[in-house]
Amino acid sequence: MSVIELLDTKFDGTPATQSPVSIRPHGDRTRRVMMVQPASAGGNFEYIAIPRQGMLFLSGALAQWDGPYVYERDIWFEDRLGRMDPDTDLDNIDILMLTSLINETPRAYELARQAREFHPELVILGGGPQMSPLPEEAIARGGFDAIVNREGEDIIGQLCDILLTWRDDRKYQYLERVAGISFMRDGHVTQTRRKGLVAPDFVPLPDFRSIRGLSPINPMAGGVLETVRGCTENCSYCQVIQQFLGYRLIDRDTEFRRLKQLEELAADGLIHTGRNGKFNVFISDDLHTPPLRAVKFRNERLERLKGWASRTTSMNMICQARAEIGQDDELADALLDANVKMLYLGVESNNAESLAAVRKRQEPGQMQKDLVHLNETGFSVVAMTIIGLPYDTEESIMTLADWVTQHSRYQTANLLTPLPATSNWDLKPLNAEGGPLQEGEMRPYELYTGRQLVHEDDRWSMAESRELFDNYTAKLTSIDALYGRIFRILGNYRLRQARGVQDLSEATETMRNWSHQVEQAGKELGENLNLRVTELSDTLRSVSQPLSNMGSDFMDNLRTRINETSEALRVYAERADSGSKDVATGISNRVGEVTEMLNGVLDSATHRRNPNQAR
């Protein structure tokens, strides 16, 4: 079938044809896609600690897409890997995809502009919670070929096929058939209508393995698991309601498959595992456990959690919930049984008027009882708070700090920040200097971190709000401190791993040097070489602990390398002159002992990583 015929059959408004993810041969059909999450300008630390899932699911969608092209994917998280150089890092790339949270948007626009400058023929796509509701701004500031509105797994393959196939005005007749995108045509932005909602498990498994730089030496700090999209609530400050309409649970079997996937990633060393053998899993930042009044969803979640208990024994799980879970002992016990022991709770405020003003259906007195009970039950509670709400005063904010630290182990804090697609977006914006934003001036998105007010407020200027934030957070036990500790531990772990590889490389090179000396000098070096082999044994023992955390692929390669080097040393020893036969035999035996010891270490490490794998 020709490309044109494929396009005509794929863009008629019907759901995309799916096929299992597989490795396909390279050829003329292969196209390379770079997917980038720009560096964060600040805000909640967990955005850096775990990968955002949008690109992971889009990558999975391209892997299972059945169309005229085969897509090789590469996911670049700048917070993990460092900043991309659009000039050199996009060589031989066919499509660039960018997504961003609000404070990452200036960097996303910068990357798009630079990519276009260095690679004029590159297809550039944007999306995510910032660009989706503001496609005109994104196209004007970043020069994107198209913006994906809301979710895009079901249409991303179609969109890529069109923009790669048609480079002239003929592309518009096909773009108009793709639901839920925006693009520039004849000087104005055209937006197509989204038809229905994407199944939350349209892509069964997120594509973690396409993350660039992910390895046992540079693993993720924690896994991330999506179980639901959307929310049952209608809080005025939240983007989730508009970005992910409705409340959509993934299939039960898919939920179990995603748990298994995380175990496999950890077994391969791609998620950091602590000394206790457990690794952290963040259940996505949508509302995981629905409130009691959402009876149908609550009952379904309870039944699913009962199936988790045997599947999450190696995990420390963290999720968002509402404080009223403290009124539901049955669900709370099921969470604890499934190793969900840290709860992010949307406390926001203890001021009833402020809660009502932002449509947070929560009564402070009952919330306090719920928090007390959850702490007594054994949960580690993280209270998420928002200051600068309509009825806040400086005094009430400081009182909130005193109250919330009594009823939670950790806290997060954000000043009220207008986000696109929320009612707060209409608040009058400020520029970077704290004055009124002028017409045509872009908002200073890099300041939209929740650490200062970015809209006009009669109570505080931008500078005064920064001082207020500092005074408030000084009284908290910030969850950022916990993530900072995790990152320090992980950093030390990476150094140990890297040092282990370096030590082993040095030892292997030394073995090569010794074997050459045996061949050249013979008997007179025998006693010295025996001593050096003993030193080698000690070196390899010192390396064994860092090696025990390596992934299976790494260890297999390492085993091969050591075996080859050891065999070479035996051969060289045997070539020594006849007068050194006894010495050569002794050296060969000692090397055999060292090699056997190292292989034992590697076998043991492999078994610890994957007990079910044949040794």
Q: What are the pLDDT digits (tens) for 575-603?
A: 544 445 555 555 555 555 555 555 554 55
Q: Is the pTM of this model over 0.85?
A: no
- What is the CB neighbour count within 10 angstroms for residue 407? 21
Predicted local confidence at residue 587, as pLDDT: 55
Cβ-contact 312, 225 below 8 angstroms: no
Q: What are the pLDDT digits (tens) for 10-27?
A: 443 344 433 333 333 445
* 3-state SS assignment for residue 412: strand
**To which CATH superfamily is domain 215-425+458-477 assigned?**
tm_1862 like domain (3.80.30.20)
Query: pLDDT higher for 591 or 3?
Result: 591
Percent helix, strand, coil in the chain, to 5, is: 50, 15, 35
Average of per-residue pLDDT values in the chain: 80
Residue count of the chain: 615
Indicate the domain borders of the chain: 3-18+26-191, 215-425+458-477, 485-609
Could you give the CA distance from residue 112 to residue 147 in angstroms, rounded to a whole number?
12
Predicted local confidence at residue 594, as pLDDT: 53
The yes-or-no verdict on residue 54 having pLDDT over 70 is: yes
- What is the CB neighbour count within 10 angstroms for residue 578? 8
Closest residue by Cα to residue 558 from 604, 608, 505, 522: 505
The yes-or-no verdict on residue 361 having pLDDT over 60 is: yes
Q: Please give the structure tokens belonging to residue 278.
A: 């457990």
Q: What are the pLDDT digits (tens) for 85-125?
A: 999 999 999 999 999 999 999 999 999 999 999 999 999 99
Angle at 457 between CA 453 and CA 463, to 5 degrees: 45
Residue with tokens 């992971």: 56
Q: Please give the structure tokens belonging to residue 446.
A: 């890099």
* Domain 3-18+26-191 indexed as CATH 3.40.50.280: yes
The yes-or-no verdict on residue 36 having pLDDT over 90 is: yes
